[in-house]
Amino acid sequence: MTNQAGTYIEQLKDNVGKQVKLAGWLYNSRSSGKVQFLIIRDGTGLCQCVVEKGKVPDDVFEQLRHLGQESSLAVTGLVRADERSVGGYELAVTAAEVIGRTEGYPITPKSHGVDFLMRHRHLHFRSQRQWCIGRVRHTVIDAIRRFFNDNGYVLIDTPIFTTIVGEDQTSLFEVDYFGEPLHLTQTGQLYLESAAMSFGRVYCFGPTFRAEKSKTRRHLTEFWMVEPEVAFIDLDGLLELAENFVSYIVARVLADNRSELETLGSDIESLEKMTPPFYRLTYTEAVEILTGQRTVDFMAEQLRQLRDQRQRAKGGIAELEQQLTGSLKQWKRDKIAAELIELRADLAETNTKIENNPKHAELAAGFRWGKDLGGSDETIISQMHDKPVFVTHYPKDAKAFYMKTDRADEKVALNFDLLAPAGFGEIIGGSVREDDHDRLLARIKQEGLNPETYAWYLDLRKYGSVPHGGFGLGVERTVAWITAEKHIRQCIPFPRMMDKVYI
């Protein structure tokens, strides 16, 4: 496959020793008088293009020398393998043509604040980090579809306008539907249950909406969720499905996006360990851990490490500040300034963690059986593990009405959350569904929901009810975990958050 120009950067490996034409954007450039090094990106990768005076017409050489970042251009030249170059190949340029000249591109190689970058999301996409994350997200979504399509699941598209409350009544986005109040879907699950009674194994995959009043790094108001639903499955079967599914996604990203993961600083070694079986804890065991000595010791050790980290960050900052007092070339000055911004941001984050550590330790110690696990509790459990952890059998009153009560212990539900390791927290929530008509009706009433709205859902328990269940995996949280990105707003192209919609 070729582009209009002829060759994509990702195809250079097959074109060593040949003359090719590339078309792209100027990512970065430096010049040493007689030679210019232009880093060009074309959507498939980066390539260093070497322009020597005398090898191209003088006017072209001059034009390139003054070309602004993100100008678009086409270059022709000879492909050489060069290990030191980005991507491993470079181009010895013999001809070049400027297509769209750019001046004053707002995003420079210096660091910018989050707000600035979010307001420039339409341009920020071009940055190396966003490019890497976007490619990982693409693979994650492809792997999700492939996993279910190859394992006998039928895709069912569930509606976005809905009458039912899928998860909780406090986070609904109401819409005026020709004078009728409807809301945007929180989950496709209830519709999917009806489809599972027709097709056996089904999944839905689409955007979901929650008016959650949380401004955390784990919450978006619009996010993508994939949900499988299976007839004739129990809790053990669901856990097995979830661990095979997550392992498959991680393996695909490792196979397809290793260089992106390296650029992003993901922990590749630990991702390679993400194979079944994952850890399994009951909620009650999780509470015992949180309120026991293990958490006390763990939090104390974490505080020690954070303080060391703070010392190191302070030292690093002092050293860079010292360097800035000397006489330096402008590019070196810019580089140090960018590093300083990063280090100061790291330091601020470490300080916040140091401040939060005792609060989180106290919350954990005071945790009482019966509540849902909070964000900090999940973080602690997930930090204690080097692989994902299933937490199962939550108190039924803390969870959604559709979850099946454990007949062996009526206080708990047959449900699970999957917590990604190293502090990332919940990426999946799922359960066996209540399949007994009367019990489900009682739960619907207990939640204050209108049974008439759920008449069709209750029908599924009247006509050939079977044990069944499923789960939902959040795409952005999964991408954030795999790419080691701190905030999920970076893991969706155009994020929607409680406090901000930028563009």
Paired with 429 in beta bridges are: 417, 472
Is position 430 an interface residue for Mg ion (rule: CB under 5 A)?
no
- Binding-site member from 24, 388, 470, 495 for ligand 4AD (CB under 6 A): 470
- Binding-site member from 87, 429, 470, 495 for Mg ion (CB under 5 A): 429
Residue 210 interaction partner, one of ligand 4AD, Mg ion, none, beta carbon < 5-8 Å per kind? ligand 4AD
The three-state secondary structure class of 23 is: strand
Applying CB under 6 A, the span of 15-23, 86-94, 340-348, 473-481 interacting with ligand 4AD comes to: 473-481
Applying CB under 6 A, the span of 37-45, 215-223, 325-333, 389-397 interacting with ligand 4AD comes to: 215-223
- Binding-site member from 120, 201, 210, 360 for ligand 4AD (CB under 6 A): 210
**Can you say whether residue 103 is alpha, beta or left, with left for phi > 0 and alpha for psi between -120 and 50 degrees?**
beta
Is position 495 an interface residue for ligand 4AD (rule: CB under 6 A)?
no
Applying CB under 6 A, the span of 16-24, 101-109, 145-153, 422-430 interacting with ligand 4AD comes to: 422-430
- The amino acid present at 260, given as its one-letter code, is E
Nearer Cβ to ligand 4AD (131/224): 224
| 414-438 residues labelled b (16+ CB within 10 A) or e (exposed) | bbbbbbbbbbbbbbbbbbbbbbeee
- Name residues contacting ligand 4AD, limited to 148-167 (CB under 6 A): 166-167
| Token representation of residue 263 | 């650029």
Closest CA relative to residue 360, chosen from 288, 304, 295: 295
Count of residues near ligand 4AD by CB under 6 A = 23
Applying CB under 6 A, the span of 113-121, 364-372, 421-429, 443-451 interacting with ligand 4AD comes to: 421-429
- State how far Cα 95 lies from the chain centre: 41
**Least separation, in Å, of the C-beta of 106 and ligand 4AD?**
29
What sign results for the dihedral spanned by CA atoms 42, 46, 52, 55? negative
**Least separation, in Å, of the C-beta of 228 and ligand 4AD?**
8
The three-state secondary structure class of 394 is: coil
Applying CB under 6 A, the span of 31-39, 151-159, 279-287, 424-432 interacting with ligand 4AD comes to: 424-432
Contact 378, 363 (CB under 8 A): no
The three-state secondary structure class of 376 is: helix
**Residue 472: φ, ψ to 5°:** -125, 130
First-to-last alpha carbon distance for the chain, in angstroms, is 34
- Binding-site member from 69, 71, 185, 189 for ligand 4AD (CB under 6 A): 189
Closest CA relative to residue 229, chosen from 153, 331, 128, 342: 153
Binding region for ligand 4AD (CB under 6 A): 166-167, 187, 189, 210, 212, 219-220, 223, 225, 227, 426-431, 470-472, 474, 476-477
Binding region for Mg ion (CB under 5 A): 429
